[in-house]
Amino acid sequence: MSPRWWSHPDGPVGHGFRLPPGRAAAADAEPVPSAFETVRVPVPRVPLPRGPGRAVPVAPRPAPRRPVRIAMGAVAAVLSAGLLGGCIGALVQGTRQGGRITLQPASEAPVRRSPGTTASIVRAVLPGVVYLSVNASGTTTTGTGIVLDGAGHILTNNHVVAPQGSAGRTTVTFSTGQRHPAALVGRDVASDLAVLQVKGVAGLHPLALGSADRIEVGDPVVAIGAPFGLQGTVTSGIVSARDRPLTSGGTDSGAGLAYLDALQTDAPINPGNSGGPLLDAAGTVVGLNTAIRSADSDSSDPFGVTDRSGSIGLGFAIPVDQAMRVAEQLINTGRAGHTVLGATVDLAYQGGARVTAVAPQAVGNPALHPGDVVVALDGAAVTSGDDLAALVRGSAPGTTVVLTVERDGETRELPVPLRSTQRDGDADSL
């Protein structure tokens, strides 16, 4: 019996095929070979090419049909599973309401933040940061301050409370939104610091005060304030430099000229941040944000307290150690003394601070001589008389500093004691 896949029911017969039984041949048809005769099909002879180098043409084989790769099936399966999972996830995370799906939060569990993160620092200190609105000479300016104690004392900058040189009416806004008038306790132009006080306010949150002496360049810091009136604005950065001497206020500023031995930071500080805290990673105050470097090279006040431009990454803060010395004096006496060296310098001289005279109180101290050029104080570079004034006033009275002095072609290191004075001397008197 022939296999089923043969095309003829009777199976193959040699190289020919038999006619189906019961089918008669036509009368004029040629005789059909019997089952035992084979039909031979003549094949024409094709002459082969002769001669060297002549190749015999060969008919190309048809390309075999490749089976479908298993990988295609796997990809299809993965895509189908992904689509199915997405649909199921949408149904699980949502609820059907009237034929519509309302998506729900994936998790309502509270986010746990470890101590030392910016969010945890801000949450702890915001109640101790206040925002100031000062009306002076018909103009309203804004600033920031920090709560010092439960008696309602608030520390801020002098240029915030007296932008035109005289104190204006100040309103304090707390983080709760409460607003209270504040009275001026005292202010000091030379250090650009002032203390206010609110009375009858319960539940105050004084901020923890640290020390700038423990700060190193590269330490992370956080600044809080109200730039352009946007209360509660938080920025962060690092300490870019320490002992950065600068003057702020300028000759055109009604707030007066101040000498600062500042911390430099790249945390963005803008107008309205003045008087706000600069905080370390522990959430303690290490500085009071005071000035920014203006991008206007023609400004008479490059480290401006009145500049209205934005941050360019050069912000400056009064170290909290100096701020607290001044604040204590303002609270106790209403005035602040200044740290002095007992000498007069040439403010026009560049390349150091050239001593022009020694104060009578310091004549008995043979350390400094007229003509000496001071080029460093405790290792901090001095390039001008303003630099020396800022570094001296940033130091505590009663301490002894080491001055690097050039005298008669030689470099010497001289220990010099600092003292305090209540007198407001000329700018060149240190």
Q: Active-site residues: which are they?
A: 159, 192, 274
Q: How far apart are CA 120 and CA 46, in angstroms?
A: 96
Q: How far apart are CA 253 and CA 11, in angstroms?
A: 117
Q: How far apart are CA 142 and CA 267, in angstroms?
A: 19
Reading the block at residue 268, the tokens are: 């963005």
Nearest alpha carbon to residue 243 among 303, 297, 312, 322: 322
Nearest alpha carbon to residue 152 among 195, 186, 123, 191: 195
Report the amino acid identity of residue 233: T
84 φψ region: left (φ > 0), alpha (ψ -120 to 50), beta (else):
alpha
Q: Count CB-CB contacts under 10 A for residue 260.
A: 27
Reading the block at residue 188, the tokens are: 């000091």
Reading the block at residue 245, the tokens are: 């001497």
Q: How far apart are CA 392 and CA 322, in angstroms?
A: 11
Reading the block at residue 43, the tokens are: 């094949």
Q: How far apart are CA 246 and CA 204, in angstroms?
A: 34
State the DSSP string of 45-76: --PPP-STTPPPP-PPPPPPPPPPPHHHHHHH
Q: How far apart are CA 400 and CA 386, in angstroms?
A: 20
**Entry field: residues in the chain:** 430
For residue 261, CA distances in Å to 200, 244, 252, 335 come to 36, 6, 21, 20
Reading the block at residue 247, the tokens are: 């003057």
Place of tokens 């000479």: 137
> Which residues, 6+ apart, have CB-to-CB distance to 149 below 8 Å?
204, 206
CB 225 within 8 A of CB 287: no
Q: How far apart are CA 33 and CA 222, in angstroms?
A: 109
